[in-house]
A and B are shown apart, each in its own frame.
Chain A
């Protein structure tokens, strides 16, 4: 099958949007996060990491990056790796990462891998939450 169809743009597989709250940027991932779309996700997350570090929070407050995985309809261990690496970098820099898993694919994979208890979870989230009204890039 491979080679018969044109190579898809990773952006068609994974779409990324951002939503800002005071001292918090949400990176919202839509679609499929796998080994193929991981580099694009890493680039966007690193951009958001630089942004939260640049927007220095008030003294004594830790900057928070939010990763919203609840819109993903597919995620595998590549996505888990992304979250854990971002979390490690944030911890080393004195910042933190909040994660929304939702109740779909991301929740199932993180639960199965027994990672969920180690995350700073931001679930559940009402649909009226401003972080869910980001603009797709």
Chain B
């Protein structure tokens, strides 16, 4: 269990009479923990993970190989069997928002039937992604996991002064030391973080296989999108279900432009064996690049289009530039 240093729970988490957090609360808790030596932090994390396994939570751990072996030894065989060890270097693409979306989709599924999940993730320097990327991932996780019953503990290395990278402070409402969580006074709202680290564009792809201009007549625009997705999906050798997914995902992006954007735009398509990419561009400016990272409540009739597009895509990256808004989805 994670103890709260303050009498009041942090971030809306409910606390029991003893001041301990209450398992089963549908509250996302996002904690940062600084470490200098891996063994120190693992000795602190071990009882937290063991307690989560005992509560029959879904427990995921993404640490480097030496730490994994150390942790498995500390947890013992029985507790280790209840932990899913993931590759900390795995399943990351260029799109931080897509990484957060994938995590949220997995964790929503893992906690759907009233359970809770605990995640321990080790952050370290990676050559392929800079600190801005990880900062955006963390901020997008704060958006995407709101209301999901997850405790996510992020391990960050500290410098000689004992400080973590600034993004660790901006993105975590709580700081964990040992088994005690303290409110983090340097925490910022995700909108503030993302305003200071604008979403970068997707990598260039070269000349598209096809360009489809669409206008404000939805029945025409969406018919043409479906026809393109079907035709180009076959060229990409996608299965029927993936062609359907592509048609729905791209249609949702186009519908978004028709309903909330400028009413006209362009879809560019790239095709290669087993993969299709579509990018919708319009001249408007999206209010936030994190749209669609979490679903509306079941009672809310609207607001599911981009959520659905994100679920159907392996990656959906939204960004703005002086020419307008771009949404690139990969199937």
Contact = CB atoms under 8 A, between A and B. Distances in A.
Interface in B206-259: 212-215, 217-224, 226-228, 244, 247-248, 251-252, 255, 258-259
Given A36-B218, A81-B301, A118-B298, A76 B223 contact: no
Contacts of B213: 1-3
Contact of B220 (A8, A84, A88): A8
B82 interface: no
A2 B305 contact: no
A37 interface: yes
A88 B302 contact: no
Given A80-B304, A113-B304, A115-B298, A2 B212 contact: yes
Contacts of B220: 2, 5, 7-8, 36
A2 B304 contact: no
Given A1-B213, A2-B214, A88 B311 contact: no
Which of B244, B304, B307 has the most CB atoms of chain A within a 10 A radius of its CB? B304
Interface residues of A, number: 30
Contact of A36 (B222, B244, B304, B305): B222
A13 interface: yes
A8 B228 CA distance: 17
Given A2-B214, A76-B252, A77-B252, 19 more contacts: A1-B212, A1-B227, A1-B228, A3-B215, A8-B220, A13-B219, A34-B219, A35-B218, A35-B258, A36-B218, A36-B219, A36-B221, A74-B226, A74-B244, A77-B255, A81-B304, A85-B301, A88-B299, A88-B301
Interface of B: 112, 212-215, 217-224, 226-228, 244, 247-248, 251-252, 255, 258-259, 295, 298-302, 304-305, 307-308, 311-312
14 contacts: A2-B212, A2-B215, A7-B219, A13-B219, A32-B223, A34-B255, A36-B218, A74-B226, A74-B244, A76-B255, A76-B305, A84-B300, A113-B295, A114-B298
